[in-house]
Structure 1
């Protein structure tokens, strides 16, 4: 069996109502001249999703998980099964647009590119941007480039390097994922893609934003953003990113700004009545701090094996490159 060029991996839990539009878009915009496989990972759904996929999209490879493991576990199962030289993670609440695959794969002609960020538009309001790649501010703030801005401006943006790609629709070089590892299951969901972006950069890879690759995303259709458990997990995951991944020089400079940022966040959470999950999440992070620090050895190992010196683009959207010159190329300092 010939190896496909692109594997599209769609993790799905109880997504029966979301999958039709997602899979139909892939069928309608199937690229010419690109061998494509589509993989749906059914994360122990109870709504008949798996049976529906088998009945209506027999060309789709279906992987059924017996136990619900969350986004990272489902995504990793799909990544492990994928045969493509390149892998796209696609949310079940997303739709691809015409020419998405050709545009998304084009930057990989440069062997130093490990991931590609599409222009992700809000499905209910395609004149607005969901993300144009991800940013990471040195004081510990992950964010989406262009979020909420007019799509017309970003459609004419030149392709260029960004910090990372949102897992709602990110493309990855399969070889790069094998080198750095897939998503860290301890994140569960939220910021797992930022952690992966950091690891790809530690390994010397770059991420490119490609505005001609467009995806529609039904923002946050999969998760309940009012859930205290979700806010607690996000608070912990934010600390995991900060302590596990920042280069040593950045970490020393960022400590005081990070503490100030946490204070501002706490005040905002207090005003919204969400302080308790936030504090619990930070408590969870303190308990796991020794593990976070141990992960830094893995980052140093990636840097030592990298063909290109790791370089970090840290900043706040939309000027994430403003402090790029401070991130000196490094090999092993973490």
Structure 2
């Protein structure tokens, strides 16, 4: 491709000293003919994460937040500081493959209707898939396609998807500017990227999965998946997404039947109370955000 777009990679750290060296080492091996710059936005780490990033030979720009702005807030700081055509958001516990970036750039250059593109993520070792695009159900439960399956090439076809994970996602800058980026009412984490994907699709833009963009992801190092804290944040984010985008008819005709069926089939009795509580806390969070003019 003759005219490669400028790309900025934004990595948010929070006590990520264990992971950021490997993340930046892998990023430095990226084969990309266009302009590529790395930005690390640190959420007031106590373990020296920003110092480690500053010393890395990749020469990344480091922004030090005075407090933890969460996933969305810190990523917003990063993309606004980075002047680039495409912004790629990476988690610090990821390791990209050398040829990962050019396929993403090609997708954006080849189709102006693409707002967001996601990567193929695998667990350490690269044999077991973690994410090959995502599907969003009528109760806003989100599923990673391919999760837990051995990678035998069955997810090697690019396609449109409901959403992609924010652990490794590329977004057109003009779309970020038109939306304001991530909604920080989802603070501190979960469903911000899903919200952005929903907005893109509501505007008639495309969210795509690009399997040639391969990334290793250690997953959930800030909040342990399955922990009480994870469940609290995940369930709250899910209901915030519903409250933000669903009409009264959607709640009645789509959400309620699916949610009741899901709760009967999949939820242990001890979790049902948590799910119900998440409805109230999510609504409260959105109301507080609205009072701030968001």
Normalising by structure 1, report the TM-score: 0.78
> 1:147 aligns to what?
147
> 2:239 aligns to what?
239
> 2:162 aligns to what?
163
> 2:66 aligns to what?
66
Q: Which moved more, 1:238-247 or 1:8-17?
A: 238-247
How far apart, in 2, do the equivalents of 1:30 and 1:64 lie?
28
Structure 1 residue matching 2:222: 3-state secondary structure: coil
Is 1:29 equivalent to 2:26 in the alignment?
Answer: no
Is the contact between residue 183 and residue 192 of structure 2 (CA under 8 Å) also seen in structure 1? yes
CA positional deviation for 1:190 = 1.1
> 2:207 aligns to what?
207
CA positional deviation for 1:74 = 1.2
How far apart, in 1, do the equivalents of 2:76 and 2:268 lie?
33
Unaligned runs of 5+ in 2: none
Is 1:116 equivalent to 2:86 in the alignment?
Answer: no
> 1:178 aligns to what?
177
CA positional deviation for 1:174 = 0.5
Closer/same/farther in 2, CA of residues 50 and 287 from structure 1, 3 Å limit? closer
Closer/same/farther in 2, CA of residues 30 and 243 from structure 1, 3 Å limit? same
Deviations 1:165-197 (A, max 9, x none): 210000100101111221111112111111110
Q: Which moved more, 1:281-290 or 1:137-146?
A: 281-290
CA positional deviation for 1:280 = 2.8
CA positional deviation for 1:29 = 2.0
Is the contact between residue 117 and residue 133 of structure 1 (CA under 8 Å) also seen in structure 2? yes
How far apart, in 2, do the equivalents of 1:15 and 1:191 lie?
21
Q: Which moved more, 1:231-240 or 1:166-175?
A: 231-240
CA positional deviation for 1:70 = 1.5
CA positional deviation for 1:290 = 6.1
Is 1:85 equivalent to 2:85 in the alignment?
Answer: yes
Following superposition of structure 1 onto structure 2, how do residues 248-287 of structure 1 map, counting pairs within 5 Å? 250-261=250-261, 263-264=263-264, 268-270=267-269, 273-287=270-284
Closer/same/farther in 2, CA of residues 142 and 86 from structure 1, 3 Å limit? same
How far apart, in 1, do the equivalents of 2:255 and 2:159 lie?
30
RMSD: 2.5
Structure 1 residue matching 2:127: 3-state secondary structure: strand
> 1:17 aligns to what?
18
Q: Which moved more, 1:214-223 or 1:94-103?
A: 214-223
CA positional deviation for 1:261 = 4.1
